[in-house]
Structure 1
């Protein structure tokens, strides 16, 4: 069985056995020490001594009695204000807060609506500008296409006209040559001196072939001339 030393704050006493400690009226905060302890402990920290501890009840807090009139008054007050005034003030405060919140919400909605209207108006203006630009581009493109078509038509007309002039000149030359070869054919048929019958026949065949060639050329040129005239009318 362990024996314990006690300390009263100034000096230590002991050692005491468990039976002796019962008479010392130790409490849970009484410093104790026994062999094997590193340092002093409170008696409440030693399991062996807990059954010996004297229980000290806490002091009683005595409050002054509240008069009945004061109790009644306090029952009719909230935060030191009469109930009716408190409820009225609370109602007014709630109305003010509600009105303030309502105004904030309404202003926010109005601001959002104005922002949406501005964005919509801006989008509409941009759309109109884009449409106007598209129309201008279409008009410019149409004008360019018309100018290009007119240029092509002029060039084609000029080409056809030049070709018709060439054909007319060639036809005129061919017709003149045809008359010349016809005359040569008559002269070759009538000429009888200084040549044999074979030479005469070869000369006549040669002139005849030249006449046929000229006729074919004249026919082709006349066909081309007629086609070009029709195409020239379509170009107009």
Structure 2
């Protein structure tokens, strides 16, 4: 018995007998191959597959006569109620539905208003909390700045005091050097033996220069000392 292989474009299927192929999804463009064929062919091109694509017309349906509809006599009742009572009940239901709808709308508006009020309260609380945090942060920054300022002032005071001590020591030293230079000048002016006038004048000039230099240095140190004392008074 001949067996067939089919391919629907994705993968091959088979082998199938001709009866088994009746249960497979085959159309005219389905590729079919069986042993002895050189290549795949469309199902519509293979003779034994022709019955698969033969269209059988449906049986003729005969029209059935429409059933006769009996006319009902009009009644004065609706759903078992008199028309007047029915319309009265209908109006009452309409009023109840209207009241119910209005009540629901009013409750929804009330709920929306309550929700907006809660959101506003929550927003106000958030603003107050942020303001409080901002104030605390600003206070902490002020405290930190004050601490840094105090530390800077302390360091500056210590630096000034150390420099004042150094200046005092330098002044003592310079004043001693100045006194020594004055003594040397006095000795040079009084000493007359074993020197020429030019040598004497040269020595006097050197000692006078020393005295002038020491006076300048002492003035500079005293000016610096006064400035530091003034600066020290401005530091809190």
C-alpha change, 1:64 and 1:91, in structure 2 (3 Å) is closer
Q: TM-score by structure 2 length?
A: 0.66
Q: Larger C-alpha radius of gyration, 1 or 2?
A: 1
Evaluate the alpha carbon distance shift between residue 129 and residue 65 of structure 1 in structure 2; reply closer, same or farther with a 3 A threshold: closer
CA distance in 2, matches of 1:147, 1:130: 25
Structure 2 counterpart of 1:77: 77
Residue 98 of structure 2 corresponds to 98
> What TM-score results when the alignment is normalised by the length of structure 1?
0.66
Equivalent residue number for residue 130 of structure 2 = 130
Q: Which residue of 2 aligns with 1:22?
A: none
Aligned to 2:61: none
2:201 corresponds to: 201
Gaps of 5+ in 2: 1-67
The runs of 4+ residues in structure 1 deviating greater than 3 Å are 61-66, 76-80
Cα distance in 2, alignment partners of residues 137 and 222 from structure 1:
46
Post-superposition offset of 1:81 = 2.1
The two structures, once aligned, show a CA RMSD in angstroms of 2.3
Consecutive unaligned residues in structure 1, runs of 5 or more: 1-60
Aligned ranges for residues 93-172 of structure 1 at < 5 Å?
Answer: 93-172=93-172
Give per-residue Cα distances to partners, 1:167-206, cap 9 Å, x unaligned: 1111111111111111111111111222222222111111
In the aligned structure 2, how far is the partner of 1:114 from the partner of 1:168? Answer: 79
The CA distance in 2 between the partners of 1:65 and 1:120, in whole Å, is 66
CA distance in 1, matches of 2:170, 2:156: 21
Task: Output one character per residue of 1:44-89: Cα deviation in whole Å (capped at 9) or x when no partner.
Answer: xxxxxxxxxxxxxxxxx897996xxxx6xx3x43444213211220
In structure 2, distance between residues paired with 1:178 and 1:65: 147
Q: Residues 178 and 62 from structure 1, CA distance in 2 versus in 1: closer, same or farther, beyond 3 angstroms?
A: closer
CA distance in 2, matches of 1:203, 1:160: 39
- Equivalences for residues 1-236 of structure 1 within 5 A: 74=75, 76-236=76-236
CA distance in 1, matches of 2:119, 2:72: 73
Partner Cα separation in structure 2 for residue 189 and residue 83 of structure 1: 153
Question: 2-side partners of 1:177 and 1:155: how far apart?
Answer: 33
Separation (CA, whole Å) in 2 of partners of 1:65 and 1:135 = 87
Q: How many pairs does the alignment contain?
A: 170
Q: CA deviation at 1:108?
A: 1.4
